[in-house]
A and B are shown apart, each in its own frame.
Chain A
């Protein structure tokens, strides 16, 4: 299963640095095949943030496999990230999805 991910960050802010670090750890521990990851800085590429309707940063967008899902925050809650990526079933989550 090929993963295509986009991580929207804001420069080198603390939340963004933590998100990049947490994502690196995840890639090592969780993914069998190397996912295709793009890191996008909203300060340098605000048009991409507009196209993906990004409100909060950091935001990890799972483009593939479907369904597209957004995980906002510094990815510190690993369980929720795994649910967002579809790697563990949703019933683990005590219903904190928004929208």
Chain B
């Protein structure tokens, strides 16, 4: 379904998200999902992949930089997404880039992330992926000493994704709810499309919201929208929270 000025959008299948993005995420592009820890970035990213498989039969790849695969599977089994089965059916593949605490890594000279890019391409080809989730690239900075190099290499990954005909969500860590988009200023990779998940506490009341900050010049709803967590995952209420106040 194409947006009204030529930007094709991929319907995500997530209740409310397709409303506030006026049709879904820009197809074949990356959307940055920024949020503090505990703002459910991982959940929304996995939900994007699961909705793709369940509703549109879109195979998916999930690149995890932080959580281990067993932890991910345990955290989402209450949502009924049967990733084990999808993996066996060849519809889902993990790329495990979570830290390896037992084994020490020593830097001995110049390197790049072409190894990781080759693994992502391999997984995408293996399942014929239409959707990719990358969570969260901010933790890469703690694995390597040279943050300038990490930023350059993450740009390589984002650029590489563009050549793979996949629609992707790349999550990044924030330290404050209303400040810079991300902790390491990595948003310039996918500056075109940015969504922000917030998890604020107002008068002892937990308030979760999502905001579509930018969608590559395509129209979208403005402002923060309330979300809740149900058995289906994150539910986004397309009534603008400003109208509710």
Residues of A that sit less than 8 Å from B by CB: 8, 10, 13, 15, 18-19, 22, 42-43, 46-47, 49-50, 53-60, 67-77, 80-81, 83-84, 93, 96-99
Contacts and interface: CB of A to CB of B under 8 A. Distances in A.
26 contacts: A10-B114, A46-B119, A49-B118, A50-B119, A50-B123, A53-B97, A54-B115, A56-B111, A57-B115, A59-B111, A60-B108, A68-B103, A69-B104, A70-B104, A71-B105, A72-B107, A73-B108, A73-B111, A76-B109, A77-B107, A77-B109, A80-B107, A93-B106, A96-B145, A98-B145, A99-B103
A46 B153 CA distance: 18
B63 to A, nearest CB: 11
Contacts of B115: 8, 10, 42, 49, 54-57, 59
Interface of B is mostly: mixed
A54 B107 contact: no
A81 B108 contact: yes
A69 B100 CA distance: 11
A80 B106 contact: yes
B121 interface: yes
B106 A69 contact: yes
Given A46-B119, A49-B118, A97 B109 contact: no
A94 B49 CA distance: 43
A60 B106 CA distance: 10
B103 A72 contact: no
A71 B97 contact: no
B162 interface: no
Interface string B186-226: 00000000000000000000000000000000000000000
Chain B: interface size category: 20 to 34
B112 interface: yes
Q: Which of A67, A74, A76, A99 has the most CB of B within 10 A?
A: A99
B152 interface: no
Nearest to A56: B111
A81 B106 CA distance: 8
Given A53-B100, A72-B107, A84-B108, 12 more contacts: A49-B115, A55-B97, A56-B116, A67-B103, A69-B105, A72-B111, A73-B108, A74-B108, A76-B109, A76-B110, A83-B106, A96-B145
Interface string B140-172: 100111000000010000000000000000000
B155 to A, nearest CB: 15
